[in-house]
């Protein structure tokens, strides 16, 4: 297994968004939950699983041509998902089309490289805690996540737990002003 890495594509927060999410997590009093460390907070786009180095290189090449415009996700609901036992932030409004199209393009690129991914409809969420057993009764202020790039992330096992590490980042195309206007 030395030649493989546990990988996924994700949106990675800027420092301000990460601090806002960290403050929210600290405001929820549920000591028995296993809180996600602030440096690991992210929005998964496509989970890949164990990938060998050759497939990783092929996947990086395959997604290099994917383009997207920056978009925003508004996380305005605290949710409890009982099967994975997670407390997460979700969006009351459907995900913007740009986010759904990006997740679909990444999944298609990965599938073209011979890997299978989750076929359920894309649902953006931010996992705040694992091993949760209930929904904490907390009113939250909406958190706007401005997405301007997608990243390939590696899940690294360390003595004190898992740490997510950005392997590569692909910036979105910034809209240009039309000089004719």
Residues annotated as catalytic are 42, 125
d(CA 2, CA 54): 13
Q: Which residues are CB-neighbours of 37 under 8 A, at least 6 positions away?
A: 161, 163
The CB density around residue 87, as the number of other CB atoms within 10 Å, is 27
Q: Which residues lie closer than 8 Å to 128 by C-beta, 6 or more apart?
A: 21, 24, 25, 28, 35, 36, 41, 78, 86, 87, 88, 89
Give CA–CA dist 148/25, Å, rounded.
24
Distance CA(160)–CA(89), nearest Å, equals 25
CB contact at 8 A, 156 and 163: yes
CA distances from 11 to 44, 83, 140, 150, 180 (A): 6, 24, 21, 5, 33
Give the Cα separation of 145 and 18 in Å (integer).
Answer: 10
């Amino acid at each position: 297994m030395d030649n493989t890495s546990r990988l996924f594509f994700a949106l990675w927060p800027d420092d301000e968004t990460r601090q806002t999410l960290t403050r929210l997590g600290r405001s929820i009093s549920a000591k028995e939950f296993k809180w996600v460390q602030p440096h690991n907070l992210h929005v998964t786009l496509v989970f890949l699983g164990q990938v060998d180095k050759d497939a990783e290189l092929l996947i990086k090449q395959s997604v290099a041509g994917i383009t997207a415009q920056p978009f925003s996700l508004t996380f305005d609901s605290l949710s409890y998902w009982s099967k994975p036992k997670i407390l997460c932030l979700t969006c009351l409004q459907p995900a913007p089309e740009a986010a759904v199209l990006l997740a679909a393009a990444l999944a298609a690129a990965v599938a073209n490289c011979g890997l299978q991914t989750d076929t359920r409809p894309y649902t953006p969420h931010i996992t705040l805690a694992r091993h949760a057993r209930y929904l904490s009764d907390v009113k939250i202020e909406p958190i706007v996540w401005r997405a301007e790039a997608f990243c390939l992330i590696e899940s690294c096992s360390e003595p004190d737990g898992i740490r997510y590490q950005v392997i590569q980042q692909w910036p979105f195309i910034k809209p240009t002003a039309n000089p004719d206007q």
